[in-house]
Structure 1
Amino acid sequence: MERFPEDLRIGVVLGGGGARGVAAIGILEVLVGAGLKPAAVAGTSMGALIGAFWAAGFSVAELKALATGTRWREVVDFAGAGGILRGQRFQRWLSDHLPATFEELSFPLVCTATDIDTGELVRLEHGDLVSAVRATCAFPGAFVPVERDGRHLVDGGLKSTVPVGCLPTGLADYVVACDFQPPLDRPVVPSQTTNTLDWSRFWEALTFRRRYLAADILLKAVDILQTEVCRRQLADQPPDLLIAPPMPDVNIEDFRLLHEIIDQGAAAARLALHAAPAPAPRSA
């Protein structure tokens, strides 16, 4: 795009959101197609997962093929105490596809996690890449916390769903942030009439087999909290460009809709880039 200089250093922030976060692939497709190159990426949960594969050298076409070709139910395993999903299969899957360390990536990446013992936001950007991605994706109560450096780490989205403030400083001239939080004005419409949530039903809900009213209410409550935190953080640290695909009919577990989700991410990115102001000239 003529308004964006060829040497513009882009910082990309990829938010979380389960299946909704896969819209990041469509956004990256548009950014790459516009000739914009990443100088650094920060991400949480699904955004960090996609950012890790991008930084590992996966093309957009390869990201699409991986996302839509993976049988996601086979990447998780039952745990019992501490979380529903143990995460060992997920770790093996990550190890099969990603480099062992952050230092092997093609550009800097920051994954965010939350210390479940202290409530601190933790930046993960050095050393073991696989455990960092596992940690940022460890939704509490669903995945067992990840032990790393003496901490018990879970999903970074608890503290920051779009971690603009975690981009490495001094590397980017222009920050593009991607927010995949669902709109809050949509009603909770479960596909089941019961409001009972026992462990077997919780398991079915978390492994995408069924939806129940209690699970819907729980997830909507999390959405409300995370959206409020996200709005405040983006107001305090606004990116140069915010891309937020609305996707009103997509839930976090809708992994059967990945083609449509990716397309919606691309559509939102095209609209946002078209309306984006030209970057300020870089100071000498």
Structure 2
Amino acid sequence: MAIEDTSIPFGCVATDIQHGQRVIYTSGPLRIAVSASCSLPGIFPPVKDGDMLLVDGGWVERVPVRCAREMGADIVIAVNVSSDLAPFEDRSGLDIILRADAVTRIYLNNLILQEADIIVRAEVGHIHWADFSQPRELFKHGEVAALEHLAEIKLKIYKVAAPEKTDKSIAGHIKTIKDKILEKVTGKPKDED
């Protein structure tokens, strides 16, 4: 199947380790694009595509905000599941190298996230990225995070769709809806937080 044949516009990011470049797939074979974009170094072999040697796109763009922008998205909602830095204890030279690499990746990720219209952060850092045994818990955290931003998302969509009609009363109305949804999900009124 070709990317062009998908019913929803699709794009993904891969890292070309041969040329040190970010690669965005928006056309061509879907299998190659997806394989390249999730080829974790050290776990899966790089994917060869022409003269490129491709690995997971997260090495150059952990949250593909720029990819979405370049594809023409009017609104970019970034879902960030990255963990914050844990407390650091200098134990060895390798620890320092790994920490410096982590700091670089988080710093670059934060720069990219600034280009998003809305950032949804699901609190899932306590679950290892390779742990697939807790899907319901992950879904629940994602749902709660999305609902917390629902009013903001609706307002952003409204501003893009009908910019001349946006005013403070609409923002207040959407906030009330958000509070009611959160109360339903969490079981407690917003003012109890």
TM > 0.5: yes
CA distance, structure 2, for counterparts of residue 171 and residue 103 of structure 1:
15
Q: For CA contacts below 8 A with separation 6 or more, give which structure has more relative contact order.
A: 1
- TM-score of the pair, normalised by structure 2: 0.70
Q: State the match for 1:204 in structure 2.
A: none
Aligned ranges 1:53-132 → 2 under 5 Å: 100-132=1-33
Residues 1-284 of structure 1 correspond to what in structure 2 (within 5 A)? 100-167=1-68, 169=70, 171-185=72-86, 223-235=102-114, 237=115, 239-276=116-153, 278-279=155-156, 280-282=159-161
Q: Write the distance in 2 (CA, Å) between the matches of 1:165 and 1:185.
A: 27
Structure showing the higher helix proportion among its residues: 2
Where does structure 1 differ by over 6 angstroms across 4 or more consecutive aligned residues? 216-221
Partner of 2:134, secondary structure, is helix
Percent identity, please.
Answer: 30
- Note closer, same or farther for the CA distance 1:277–1:103 as it changes in structure 2 (3 Å cut): closer
User: For the residues of structure 2 that align with 1:101 and 1:130, how far apart are their CA atoms?
Assistant: 8
Distance, in Å, in 2 between the alignment partners of 1:241 and 1:274 is 11
Aligned partner letter, 1:101: A
d(CA) in 1 for partners of 2:15, 2:109: 15
Aligned to 1:122, the other structure's residue is in SS state strand
Q: Distance in 2 between matches of 1:223 and 1:256?
A: 25
| 8 A contact 1:182–1:223 mirrored in 2 | no
- Distance change >3 Å, CA 112–CA 128, structure 1 → 2: same
Is the contact made by 2:12 and 2:34 (CA closer than 8 Å) also made in structure 1?
yes
The one-character-per-residue Cα deviations of 1:220-246 (angstroms, maximum 9, x if unpaired) are 7654332111011223x2x22111112
Q: 1:180 Cα deviation (Å)?
A: 1.3
Q: Where do 5+ consecutive residues of structure 1 fail to align?
A: 1-99, 189-194, 196-213
Amino acid at match of 2:104: L
Letter in structure 2 aligned against 1:272: H
- Would the alpha carbon gap of residues 159 and 232 (structure 1) be closer, same or farther in structure 2, given more than 3 Å must change? same
- In structure 2, do the counterparts of structure 1 residues 168 and 115 end up closer, same or farther at CA, with 3 Å as the change threshold? same
Counterpart of 2:175?
Answer: none
Q: Which has the larger radius of gyration?
A: 2
Cα offset, 1:154, TM superposition: 0.5
Measured in 1, the distance between the counterparts of 2:160 and 2:34 equals 35
Report if aligned partners of 2:37, 2:56 keep a CA contact under 8 Å in 1. Answer: yes
- Secondary structure in structure 1 of the residue aligned to 2:111: helix
Q: TM-score, normalised by structure 1?
A: 0.49
Two-structure CA RMSD over aligned residues (Å):
2.9
Cα distance in 2 for residues equivalent to 1:168 and 1:231: 16
Deviations along 1:114-170, whole A, 9 cap, x unmatched?
A: 111121000111111011111111111221100012210011111110121112547
Deviations 1:216-275 (A, max 9, x none): 99987654332111011223x2x2211111223111121112221111111111112245
